Structure 1
Amino acid sequence: MERTFAVRVRDGLHARPATQFVKLAKSFASEITITCNGQAASAKSAVKLMLLGIKEDDEATLRVEGEDAPDALSALSTFLQNPAAGDIALPKTGGAAPASSAKAGPEDDGSDGIAASEGTGYGPSFAFFPPVLKIEPQAVSDTEAEISRYRDAVSGVTTAFARNKQRAGTESDTNAIIDALIDVAQDAEFAEEIEAAIRGGQDAASAVMSVGTRLTESFEAMDDPYIRARGEDMRSVTRQIVLALVGQADVSLADVAPGSVIVADEITAWDLARANLPDIAGIVCRKGAATSHVAIMARAHGIPAVLGASISADRLAGAGTVGLDGAAGKVFIDPDPATRARLNDAIAREAAEKKALEAYRTVEPVTSAGIRVEVAANLGSLAEIPAALEAGAMGVGLFRTEFLFMERKTLPTEDEQAEVYTRLAEAFAPYPVVIRTLDIGGDKPITGVDFEHEDNPFLGWRGIRMCLERPDIFKPQLRALLRASVVGNVKVLIPMIADGSEVREVRRLFEECRDEMRQEGTAFGSFELGVMIETPAAVFLAAELAQQVDFFSIGTNDLTQYVMAADRLNPKVASLNRAEHPAVLRAISATCEAAKAANIWIGVCGEAAARQDLTGFFIENGVTELSMSSTSIPRTKQAITRL
């Protein structure tokens, strides 16, 4: 993301405002560059920033790349356009950090990073810094033989990947990620580019390295964090194929001593899959995001993790012991006795809480008044299924199908979608799975759809609005959902509804698909159809909509944003973006009343579903399903039984 503006800080970025600006920049995980007077510098270096000599009224450009880029760009540009910025305390950069039981004192507040997997960890450091591959171009006399050598290397790598799935103790979520790596290695377009490079005179190792590096950079240049995180997979596969071609063995995490904290510049899913995961006390990386496969694996296995840590490689590699708070994104290098004591106390407390919550894994919670509530999981991929089942999810309250589209270079076919939806339904049967139809827009682009620039994509051509105008994309998904419905527990959820005519058009398209499938002899099942209540229009039309559908699901994230007219990514209006605001609660109550009057069930799938301070409110208003991240399920079940 990039923004150009005139600097309004009085007298420019001299020592004091430059120091404050750098401190503010360091509070974000994103890479931040500022350009002025034809020179560029990192916004996280006070010395380099001051060397730019930025004066009041100079034109400057901020470029921000990272998970929290919108927040960073907003906060930093606000600072630079405030004349008194050098004389005031730094503004807050967003909502409160996740609660943590391992807070450090002011004498050692730890280094910041991305909270990738909650929990507290402490132990001896295991430094994992594989050497950089240096490939010297080689002369090629027989291109076909070189292509054959490349294909053999791919076969060897994928065989090694597949063999790792058979290791004792490997969970199905890890297996699904390994399958994704195999798909990358065997990708036809990837192979075609490499073989074309070999035919053009490159040796196999150089060709793989050049093509793999270019594709990795393409992934990492994407705005969407989920697509960007796939660069990690491409880099990992490229490295393994090149190592196979040059006959070198890679360093491995298989030798991690029990109770160690792995510290690294970056860890790939393939690296982590070879480790004995129960031995790992924590993970700290200088790179990575909460959407990466490593983060997903860490969460699935309950390993505390902080990624994108703002620590130099030398300091990280030289650490003797390391502590971390995965919920707050804090890292403590060689912590002092007081900090160690706090970390160990937190670890013991979390272990006791986890043991107490294990009893709720198989519980189907019922309030003291006899109201049964389904506690389900919000999922974005099949890889997240094992963690949800382990947590005791009573089905899936929201399956985000957009990730199936966003992580690919081509649109998924009907067959590919049907397989994913069917596997999802089978994994949770007989519990229900609610599958949301494609919910993308200008802020979440996919290959195959051209999105024009929109000043506010949250109010633009997104969700059902886009799908109804692109039946070539929407109908294959509807057909795939009909095929998966044969399992018997599928429910379909339509996003971004603002008018009853949209529901009627979706039903018409479903019927059109059924007619086609009857003629073809393709089996399909029946399902309940619901709508997301996330726009004020849907709230006002709830009584009418309830006559057309089988259920409602309240998306509190967007509903709050739209009701309060407060961008949920803008820290300047964070105080307004609260699900507990009276206006939002009244919108939810009105929706629940409409559902009860029409005798349809209603659930909540936004982040507020996991808030124990709102659990009672939801249930009192008739909500019978709460859907959330898997880690929140046991606590929510406990809260319901105590109501």
Structure 2
Amino acid sequence: MERSTIVRVHDGLHARPATRFVKLAKSFEADIELVKAEKSVSAKSSVKLMLLGVKENEEVTVRATGADAIEAIEALIGYLENPLSGTGEEGAAPAEATPVDVAPRKEPVAAPAPVSIQGGIRGVAASEGFAIGPAFGFFPQEIKQENRMLGHDEIPAEAARLRQAFATVQERMDRSLAASNLAESDRGIIAALKDIASDEELTEAAAALVAGGIDAVSAAIGATSKIADDFAAMDDPYLNARADDVNAVGRQICLALLGQDDANLEAIPEGAILIAEDIGAWDLARAPLKRIAGVICGHGGATSHVAIIARAHGIPAVLGLGHAVHELETVNTVALDANSGLVFANPDEATARRFHDEIAKAEAVKQSLKAYKDITPKRADGTVIEIAANLGSLEEIEAAQEAGAMGVGLFRTELLFMRHIHLPSEDLQAETYATLAKAFAPYPVIVRTLDIGGDKPISGIDFPVEENPFLGWRGIRMCLDRPDVFKPQLRALLRAAVHGNIKVMLPMVSGVDEVRATRLLIDECAAELKAEGRDHAAFDLGIMVETPAAVLVAPMLASEVAFFSIGTNDLTQYIMAADRLNPTVAKLNDVTHPAVMAAIALTAKAAVEAGIMVGMCGEAAGRADLIPAFVDMGLTELSMSPSSIQRAKKCVLDLGAAPDQHFP
């Protein structure tokens, strides 16, 4: 049994998306292969899958044989057709979030040859910012192949020693994954490394070399070098960067064979610049990152895991210096301009002063925004403008709280459904929503009911094949047709409402009939819970305004619901008739287009006249250049990525008087 599709995973099946794909494949008993251009590999091997080089927008075929082959193909095809698969914890990343643990969307370029420029060394600008501080060299001793031939009677013991080394490395990585102080973004990277360390492609290749009479250390180096070379030869920068990961895993296996612990970064002083020829993502993820002011590395590029970790923690990084990094082994002080990729060894007084000035400016901006964390921004007339967070999982709560979120303006429940092989139970959903409500009480938490369609299917729901899933059976349309899926979610939300200020909004609404049908189901669920003697409470019901139909009948809808939340991402693509995932029409996906701004204004006008709250939960809500216009239209709630919250609060406070700009 097989099925073909076009891969929509952003940037294709590189490290973490491949790891998650393999994990999903392994949850099925069926034998599963992924086929690209007549070449097939096991879908249960991360290394083989990545070496297949599957890119975004390429056609592949999923082939499965076994008792659960149908379920396997449906789940894996759904994964491949979701643009954000593999970028969030155990599932797809939230739709409007900007993941901090993925490489920049611009196409990475190869590192230029290191050259001296005005006393500086040129590398790859991998994580922006400026840093200057004492140099901390990290140059562990190179492990060399012994190239020792084994006697026939030595092979069994050497093979057992190799197996134990692989097991030791996996156990060490498991301990790292279990650490409570590990950031979620780093956890995903270590999980990907562990997957490489346990992949049959690597373990069997090393075992075959030992069986042929090569010592275990040489076998481990040989096997990892071969796979690393295969990655390095690929024409995809994301997959090129996996060569460093494979070599890092190989080093750990060799150290385990030798009974040695690798040099670690525990001794790095506060404010130091880490300098290394190469550093494994595992080493960096476990390092005291708050002490590190900057990272300089001979290997790596903008898509390497070292760069991803640095960006996630706001650490300036210049990578890809090549052999020129050894010029820095003996320096005392180093400065790096990670915006342009320049490194300065023992900078002179003028250069040091320039760096300190740049650092001070950046820190001033950062600190000034922190002052807005606990501020309640108000319009000139005293109306409070709630600045809330868009979230997709409970793991994101802490970041939103640290940013000063005034509740949650959008909780995307689809991730809760996508991360499980089967539909999540009512109890699991109730617990999730209650945890969210408690975390932000007394602020409101707006939960969007299941927004799943053919473009991002889940296990347990069979979706029809549609020419354009964005215009198909999705959101409230699907939920009303599947009360067996919808009612457990509504019951869970009623139960969670006991614990905080839960509000519920419906996606993809086109008319009042959908709202009224949902109300009947809510009443039915409430009656059932009452009969069962379960605690529950009523919640405000609102809608996302994201279809042109909803805009045009907004006055009618406003009389039926408690609030509007404008979803600018989908609203823009529907108003402009331009698929937001299609790069050839990307320029049309502009929220500032007069037609889109007019639709937002019409929606706000209907809400204000009806006396209900109107907010926004699309990416545009965090844009400082648009916030004045949105506030002027009457929006009183803006929900966004946590990283934009403090700047948005400042923007509202800076308005002073009502802005001059008006839209029809």
| Match 2:593 to one of 581, 587, 600 | 581
> C-alpha deviations, 1:437-471, integer Å up to 9, x for none?
22233443434445555443333333333333444
> C-alpha deviations, 1:593-624, integer Å up to 9, x for none?
11112211011111211222222211111111
Structure 2 CA distance for aligned equivalents of residues 270 and 477 of structure 1: 42
Residues 417, 113 of structure 1: alpha-carbon distance in 2 compared, 3 angstrom cutoff: farther
Which deviates more, 482-491 or 497-506?
497-506
| Match 2:292 to one of 273, 279, 282 | 279
> C-alpha deviations, 1:110-162, integer Å up to 9, x for none?
766777xx75555677687999999xxx9999xxxxx9999999888766655
Counterpart of 2:362?
A: 350
Superposed counterparts of 1:535-550, under 5 Å: 535-550=547-562
Structure 1 CA distance for aligned equivalents of residues 13 and 322 of structure 2: 17
Q: What is the deviation of 1:109?
A: 12
Counterpart of 2:502?
A: 490
Counterpart of 2:533?
A: 521
Q: SS of the residue aligned with 2:503?
A: strand
2:143/2:254 contact within 8 Å kept:
no
Q: What is the deviation of 1:402?
A: 2.4
Residues 140, 405 of structure 1: alpha-carbon distance in 2 compared, 3 angstrom cutoff: farther
Residues 184, 611 of structure 1: alpha-carbon distance in 2 compared, 3 angstrom cutoff: closer
1:550/1:601 contact within 8 Å kept:
yes
| Match 1:366 to one of 367, 378, 400 | 378
> C-alpha deviations, 1:200-238, integer Å up to 9, x for none?
xxxxxx9xxx9xxxxxxxxxxxxxx9xxxxxx9999999
Structure 2 CA distance for aligned equivalents of residues 469 and 354 of structure 1: 48
Q: What is the deviation of 1:435?
A: 1.7
| Match 2:401 to one of 389, 393, 397 | 389
Superposed counterparts of 1:76-91, under 5 Å: none
Overall identity of the aligned pairs, in %: 45
1:236/1:270 contact within 8 Å kept:
no
Residues 389, 150 of structure 1: alpha-carbon distance in 2 compared, 3 angstrom cutoff: same
Q: SS of the residue aligned with 1:493?
A: strand
Q: SS of the residue aligned with 1:613?
A: coil
Structure 1 CA distance for aligned equivalents of residues 463 and 363 of structure 2: 48
Which deviates more, 246-255 or 234-243?
234-243
Tell me the amino acid that sits aligned with residue 390 of structure 1: E
Superposed counterparts of 1:111-126, under 5 Å: 119-121=129-131
| Match 1:602 to one of 596, 611, 614 | 614
Residues 148, 498 of structure 1: alpha-carbon distance in 2 compared, 3 angstrom cutoff: farther
1:488/1:527 contact within 8 Å kept:
no
| Match 1:561 to one of 551, 557, 573 | 573
Q: What is the deviation of 1:511?
A: 2.9
Structure 2 CA distance for aligned equivalents of residues 65 and 132 of structure 1: 40
Q: SS of the residue aligned with 2:625?
A: helix
Structure 2 CA distance for aligned equivalents of residues 126 and 317 of structure 1: 12
Structure 2 unpaired stretches of 5+: 15-36, 40-52, 59-79, 85-104, 108-116, 146-153, 158-162, 205-218, 224-237, 239-243, 656-664
Q: What is the deviation of 1:553?
A: 0.6
With normalisation by structure 1, the TM-score equals 0.62
Residues 487, 175 of structure 1: alpha-carbon distance in 2 compared, 3 angstrom cutoff: farther
Structure 2 CA distance for aligned equivalents of residues 234 and 478 of structure 1: 46
Residues 313, 379 of structure 1: alpha-carbon distance in 2 compared, 3 angstrom cutoff: farther
Q: SS of the residue aligned with 2:606?
A: helix
Q: What is the deviation of 1:487?
A: 1.3
Which deviates more, 313-322 or 409-418?
313-322
1:441/1:457 contact within 8 Å kept:
yes
| Match 1:507 to one of 508, 519, 522 | 519
Tell me the amino acid that sits aligned with residue 371 of structure 2: A
Tell me the amino acid that sits aligned with residue 288 of structure 2: A
Residues 457, 114 of structure 1: alpha-carbon distance in 2 compared, 3 angstrom cutoff: farther
Tell me the amino acid that sits aligned with residue 492 of structure 1: V
- State how many pairs are aligned: 525
Structure 1 CA distance for aligned equivalents of residues 396 and 469 of structure 2: 28
1:296/1:384 contact within 8 Å kept:
no
Q: What is the deviation of 1:401?
A: 2.3
1:609/1:627 contact within 8 Å kept:
yes
Q: What is the deviation of 1:577?
A: 2.2
Superposed counterparts of 1:163-202, under 5 Å: 164-165=179-180, 170=181, 174=182
Tell me the amino acid that sits aligned with residue 591 of structure 1: T
Q: SS of the residue aligned with 1:438?
A: coil
Structure 1 CA distance for aligned equivalents of residues 565 and 489 of structure 2: 20
Counterpart of 2:64?
A: none
Counterpart of 1:640?
A: 652
Residues 415, 562 of structure 1: alpha-carbon distance in 2 compared, 3 angstrom cutoff: same
Structure 2 CA distance for aligned equivalents of residues 520 and 560 of structure 1: 44
Structure 1 unpaired stretches of 5+: 5-27, 32-37, 41-60, 72-92, 96-104, 142-146, 198-205, 211-224, 226-231
2:125/2:302 contact within 8 Å kept:
no
Q: SS of the residue aligned with 2:446?
A: strand
1:127/1:317 contact within 8 Å kept:
no
2:193/2:245 contact within 8 Å kept:
no
1:30/1:65 contact within 8 Å kept:
no
Structure 1 CA distance for aligned equivalents of residues 457 and 343 of structure 2: 39
Residues 514, 343 of structure 1: alpha-carbon distance in 2 compared, 3 angstrom cutoff: farther
Q: What is the deviation of 1:399?
A: 1.8
Structure 2 CA distance for aligned equivalents of residues 408 and 245 of structure 1: 37
Residues 579, 161 of structure 1: alpha-carbon distance in 2 compared, 3 angstrom cutoff: closer
Structure 2 CA distance for aligned equivalents of residues 517 and 148 of structure 1: 54
Q: SS of the residue aligned with 1:371?
A: coil
Correspondence 1:625 to 2:637: yes
Counterpart of 2:389?
A: 377
Q: SS of the residue aligned with 2:638?
A: strand
Superposed counterparts of 1:251-270, under 5 Å: 252-260=264-272
Counterpart of 1:431?
A: 443
Structure 2 CA distance for aligned equivalents of residues 465 and 407 of structure 1: 22
Structure 2 CA distance for aligned equivalents of residues 293 and 237 of structure 1: 14
> C-alpha deviations, 1:5-58, integer Å up to 9, x for none?
xxxxxxxxxxxxxxxxxxxxxxx9998xxxxxx999xxxxxxxxxxxxxxxxxx
Counterpart of 1:468?
A: 480
Structure 2 CA distance for aligned equivalents of residues 108 and 186 of structure 1: 37
2:284/2:306 contact within 8 Å kept:
no
RMSD, matched Cα: 5.9
Rg larger in 1 or in 2?
2
Superposed counterparts of 1:270-419, under 5 Å: 272-281=285-294, 286=300, 299=312, 302-304=314-316, 311=320, 323=336, 325=338, 331-332=341-342, 344-419=356-431
With normalisation by structure 2, the TM-score equals 0.61
Counterpart of 1:83?
A: none
Residues 453, 316 of structure 1: alpha-carbon distance in 2 compared, 3 angstrom cutoff: farther
Structure 1 CA distance for aligned equivalents of residues 268 and 401 of structure 2: 28
1:368/1:642 contact within 8 Å kept:
no
Q: SS of the residue aligned with 2:368?
A: helix
